Amino acid sequence: MSTFSAVDVIRTKRDGGVLSDEQIDWVVDAYTRGEVADEQMSALAMAIFLRGMTSAETARWTRAMIDSGERLTWPAGRPTVDKHSTGGVGDKITLPLAPLVAACGAAVPQLSGRGLGHTGGTLDKLESIPGWRASLSSAEIRAQLESVGAVVCAPTEGLAPADRKLYALRDVTGTVECVPLIASSIMSKKIAEGAGALVLDVKVGSGAFMPTLETARELAAALVSIGDEHGVRMTALLTDMSAPLGRAVGNAVEVAESVEVLQGGGPADVVELTVALASEMLSLAGISADPASVLASGEAYETWCALIAAQGGDPSAPLPQPTHVEQAVHAPRSGVVTRVDARSVGVAAWRLGAGRARKEDPVQAAAGVLCLAKPGESVEEGQPLFELRTDTPDAVAGALAALEGAVDVADSAPARTSLILETIHGRR
C-alpha cells in the first residue's frame, strides 16, 4: 500500500509548495505504471504550469523520468557528444552536423524527433531519402557508432517512457509552454541517451518555440542546470530564428541543401551555425580539430554517405520531387529584403504538406518552400520571393495566406545581426 496519494501531491503543488524527492519519484513512477490516472497527472501538470518548480524539483523530476526506462551505454573509445535544438524553420543543422563532428573524431548518438506544427522534424527529413529507416535497436545504434561514428535515429522504446506518456498529455491539456516540464522532457531523453556532453541550440524569434530572448534564456539556463546536476558537460547557444535557416524549408528540399553544405557549398547561415555548434561539441568532447576545414575537405560528406547507407538509405538516389511547383509572392517594389518572417514560412510549408498537425499525420516528402530572397539581398519589383512545392495543389491557397505580409523590402540593407545571440556554459 502506497504512503502517497495523487491528490496530496496535486494539492502540495496547487498551494505553492515544494514537492519532496519521494513525492516526485512516486508520482512519476505511478503514472508510468498507470496507477495515477491521466486526469490526475493533468491536474498536477497544470499546477506545475501555474506554480513552477525549483531547480532542485526540476532536476529530481528529470531523474525520475530517466529512471522510468533504460539508460543507453556506448562503446569505449571515442568521446560521445550530442546536440539538441529546440526547433525552428529550416533547421536542418543535425544533418550536416552529426557527420561533421563524427569526421572530427567524436561519436554522435543523435536520437531525434518528428515535426509538429510549423517546425520540422529531423526524422521526417531523412525519411525522404529512399530506403532510410529511423527505427534502430540499441545494438544497431551501438554497432553504427563504432563503424561510422554517428547515428541519427528515433529514440528506442525503452528510453524515458514516462516522458513519452507525459508529453502526449501536455499536448492536449495546454501545459506544453512550461519551462520546468520542457526542460525535464528534453533532458530526461538526452541524459538517458548516454552522451557525455551536450550542446543546446535554443532558438529565439518568431519561428521559435521561445519568441523572446528572456524566455529562451530561462529555458537554456534550466537545461544547463539539469545537465550540471547529472554530470553532463553542457553548453547552450541562443541562436536567431527570426528568419528561416538557409533557403529550403521542408523535407527533401532540406536534405538537398544539407548535402550542398557537406559538399562545401550551401547557404552561409547554415554553414556558420553548423561550424559553430561543431566547435562547441568538439570542445566539450576534448577534441582539437577545425570543423570548418574538415567540412571543406569532403570528409564529412563521406561520413554522411556511410551514415545514410548504414541505415538502409541510398545517398546517391534522387530525392522525391513534387507534382506541383509554383513561384509566388512577388516583391512589391525594388530594394533590399529586410525581413522574412520565419513562422510564416514554416506555416506555409506545413500547409503544403511538409508538416503535421497531429503526431499520427503523414507528411509529404517533396513538399516545402524555397526562399528565393533572404534578408540583405536585393530584389526587383515583381520578382517572385518564394517557390511553393507540393503534391496537393489545393493547399497552395492556405500557404499563400500564411505568407501574406511575411516579407519587407526597403531602400537599404538592415544591419547584419549575429546568428549566435548568447552562450551559456555549464560547470564542465
CATH number at residue 240: 3.40.1030.10
Q: Are 426 and 386 spatial neighbours (Cβ–Cβ below 8 Å)?
A: no
Q: Residue 33: which domain range?
A: 6-52
Cell readout for 238 is 541562443
Q: Are 379 and 385 spatial neighbours (Cβ–Cβ below 8 Å)?
A: yes
Give me the catalytic one of 163, 201, 240, 269: 163
Q: How many domains does the chain contain in total?
A: 3
Distance CA 215, CA 210 (A): 6
Q: At 373, which CATH number?
A: 3.90.1170.30
Please confirm, yes or no, whether 203 is among the known catalytic residues: no
Distance of CA 182 to the CA centre of its chain: 13
- Give the H/E segment covering residue 51: helix 38-51
Cα distances from 212 to residues 208, 218, 223, in angstroms, run: 9, 10, 17
252 plus 334 within the same structural domain: no
Please confirm, yes or no, whether 25 is among the known catalytic residues: no
Q: What string of pLDDT tens digits covers the 428 residues of the chain?
A: 568 899 999 999 999 999 999 999 999 999 999 999 999 999 999 999 999 999 999 999 999 999 999 988 887 789 999 999 998 999 999 999 999 999 999 999 998 887 766 777 899 999 999 999 999 998 999 999 999 999 999 988 888 999 989 988 887 888 888 999 999 999 999 999 888 999 999 999 999 888 899 999 999 999 999 999 899 999 999 999 999 999 999 999 999 999 999 999 999 999 999 999 999 999 999 999 999 999 999 999 999 999 999 999 999 999 999 999 999 999 999 999 999 999 999 999 999 999 877 767 789 999 999 999 999 999 999 999 999 999 999 999 999 999 999 999 999 987 888 899 999 999 87
Give me the catalytic one of 63, 170, 217, 247: 170
* Among candidate residues 102, 95, 55, 99, the one with its CA nearest the CA of residue 77: 102
Please confirm, yes or no, whether 163 is among the known catalytic residues: yes
- Please indicate, yes or no, if residue 59 is contained in any of the structural domains: no
190 plus 268 within the same structural domain: yes
Q: Which residue has the cell 491528490?
A: 7
**Amino acid making up residue 266:** G
- Please indicate, yes or no, if residue 71 is contained in any of the structural domains: no
| 233: phi then psi, degrees, rounded to nearest 5 | -70, 130
112 plus 153 within the same structural domain: yes
286 plus 336 within the same structural domain: no
User: What pLDDT shows up at residue 116?
Assistant: 65
- Please indicate, yes or no, if residue 213 is contained in any of the structural domains: yes
161 plus 193 within the same structural domain: yes
312 plus 332 within the same structural domain: no
Beta bridge partners of 237: 201, 423
- Please indicate, yes or no, if residue 196 is contained in any of the structural domains: yes
Give me the catalytic one of 83, 189, 190, 247: 189
215 plus 279 within the same structural domain: yes
Let me know how many helices (H) and strands (E) the chain has, helices first: 16, 13
Distance of CA 284 to the CA centre of its chain: 20
Cβ-Cβ contacts under 8 Å for 117 (sequence gap 6 or more): 346, 350, 355, 356, 357
Give me the catalytic one of 13, 63, 84, 92: 84
22 plus 96 within the same structural domain: no
